[in-house]
Chain A
Amino acid sequence: MNFPDYLLLLFGMGLVTYLPRWLPLFALARRRLPQWLVDWLSLIPVAILSALIAPTLLTDSAPRALHLGKPELLVAIPTLLFALKTRSLGGTVLVGMLLFWAAKSLL
C-alpha cells in the first residue's frame, strides 16, 4: 500500500469513527434518543465484542471449520478468569499473551 492510498484510507476510517462520536454530542444535547433505541444500543457493545472474538476461539480460518480445543480457546479460560478477578485491561492483555506464548511453546 502506498502512502497516498494509506492516507486516504485513514481519512475514511477517521471520518466514520469521528462522526458517531461527534453527532450525538453536537446535535443531541437538547434531544433524547427514543427509549427503545437506547435499550437496543446498550446491548450492541457486548454483542459486537462477543461476535468478534467467538470465531477466533472456536473455528479455523482456512478453510473455515469448527475447531474446539484450539490453544486460543484453552488460553481464553484463564484469561477470562483473570479479567473477571482483576478487571484490568492492560494486565489481562499481558497475561493472555504470556499464557498463549507458553501454550504455543508447549504444544
Chain B
Amino acid sequence: MNRRPRNTPQITVGKTIVSGSTSGDHKDHRTTLKNPDSEPLPNQPGSFLHDGLQAAWPICLGYFPLGLALGVLAQQAGLGPWWIGLMSLLVFAGSAQFIAVVMIAAGSSPEAIITTTFVVNFRHFLMSSALAIYLHKVHRGFLSLFAYGVTDESFAVNMTRFRQGDWDKRSALLVNQTANLAWIISTVAGGFAGSFIPVGAYGIDYALPAMFLCLLVFQLQGRIYVLTALIAALFAVGWYLIIPGDSYVVVASMAAATVGFFLKRRYARLKGSA
C-alpha cells in the first residue's frame, strides 16, 4: 500500500518543503546534534541569541499588523486590551484567535469556540511531529516549553534552519518565544488603539481574509495542493449553504484532504514510481 519508503515524511508548510527523506538527511541532523563543532560559531557566548533573534525578526514584523488588527477587532467585540493579551498568552494562535473573537462577538457557545479552536489548530500536530525528528533525545522539559511556541511561522523558520543542519535548539526556542512576545505586545497595543478606531475602518475587516489568502499561497507547493484547495473551497461553500453552523470547515477540509490524498496516490501509481 505504501509506495514511499517508511522514513520519508514530507510535510509542506509555508515556503518550506520539509522532508526527512533519505538516510543521508538523517545522518546530517544527527551529526549536527551530537557535534556542535559543525556550527559556524560553536562556543561563542551569545551567538545562539544573535541567531535566534535574527531569525525571529521577520516573524515579529509579520505579526505586528496582524496583532494590532486582532486587538482592534477584539476591542470592537467588547474584549479589552488585557483580555485579548491574556488570550495571546494562554492560546497563542493567530487565526484561531481571530475566529474566537468573531465567534465571541456572535455569541457562540464556549463549546463551539473550543471545538473550532481545536480543529483550526490541529495542524500543529503535524508540525510538531516533523520537528520531533530534529529534537531527538532533547530534555522533555525543554520540549514542553518549546511546544508552546509552535506556530505556522516559527515552524517554517525553524524547520528550514534545522534542515540546513546548523540550528541550535536554544535559537529555535528563542524564535518561538520572541514571536510570542511580539504577538502579545501587538495585540494589547491594538486593543488600546482600538478605542480610537471606528468599526470597519481602514479595511480591518479584511485582515483575516487577507491573512488566510497569504497563508494559503504559502501552502500551494504543487498541483495536488492547488487541487486540494479548490476541492475544499467547493465542499466548504456547498456545505455552508446547505448545513447551518460552522461544521463546514471540519467537513470540507477533511473531505478535501482525503480526496487529495487518493488523487496523489493514484498519480504516484500512474507514474509507476517505486
> Footprint of B on A, CB under 8 Å?
1, 3, 5-14, 16-18, 20-26, 28-30, 32-36, 38-59, 64-66, 72, 75-76, 79-80, 83-84, 87-90, 92-102, 104
Contacts and interface: CB of A to CB of B under 8 A. Distances in A.
Interface residues of B, number: 112
- For chain B, what secondary structure do more than half of its interface residues adopt (helix, strand, loop), or is it mixed? helix
Given A22-B148, A76-B213, 5 more contacts: A7-B86, A43-B256, A46-B228, A47-B232, A89-B66
Nearest to A20: B125
16 contacts: A16-B118, A16-B121, A20-B121, A20-B125, A21-B125, A21-B147, A22-B144, A28-B132, A29-B136, A49-B215, A49-B216, A51-B232, A53-B213, A55-B240, A79-B210, A96-B207
Contact residues of A: prevailing secondary structure: helix
Interface string B197-236: 0001111111101111111111110001100111111111
Contacts, number: 310
A64 B254 contact: no
B192 interface: no
Contacts of A38: 9-11, 126, 129
Interface of B: 1-2, 4, 6-13, 15, 61-66, 69, 78-79, 83, 86-87, 90-93, 95-96, 99-100, 104, 110, 113-114, 117-129, 131-133, 135-138, 140, 143-144, 146-148, 150, 152-153, 200-207, 209-220, 224-225, 228-237, 240-241, 244, 248-249, 252-254, 256-258, 260-261, 264-265
